[in-house]
Amino acid sequence: MKSTRVTYKKYSSAGVDWASWFLGIGLGLTLALQVTTMRKSDISSVYAVVASVSRLAALTGTFFAVVGIFLIARIPWVERGVGHD
């Protein structure tokens, strides 16, 4: 009877490290865009607060949409780092 040995290929997590840094810095810069342009009038009433929060949500959603499109593009060096293939 032959003994079958199962081997697992271990991948480096280095790709995930640079991707998480990229996402964190990019999201931080995106949120800083909103925070640095705020004035006192942006939080003076309920409607102004709702508008400011909606702008913040739109900026965050747009950032993640661009990141999603970047990941769907199947760029080889991105796939090697964070892809499932």
Is residue 47 domain-resident?
yes
> CB under 8 Å to 43, separation ≥6 — which residues?
49, 52
Position 32 scores a pLDDT of 94
Structural domains counted in the chain: 1
**Residues 22-66: pLDDT tens digits?**
899 999 999 998 899 999 988 899 999 999 999 999 999 999 999
Kindly tell me if the per-residue pLDDT of 15 is higher than 70. Answer: no
pLDDT for 55 = 93
Helices (H), 1-85: 14-36, 46-72, 76-82
Q: Which domain holds residue 85?
A: 39-85
User: What's the Cα-to-Cα distance from 33 to each of 37, 55, 63, rounded to whole Å?
Assistant: 7, 11, 12
Q: pLDDT: is 3 or 5 the higher one?
A: 5
Q: How far apart are CA 24 and CA 63, in angstroms?
A: 11
Q: Is position 19 within any domain? A: no
State how far the Cα of 29 lies from the Cα of 35, in Å rounded to an integer.
10
CA-CA distance, 6 to 3, in Å (whole number)? 10
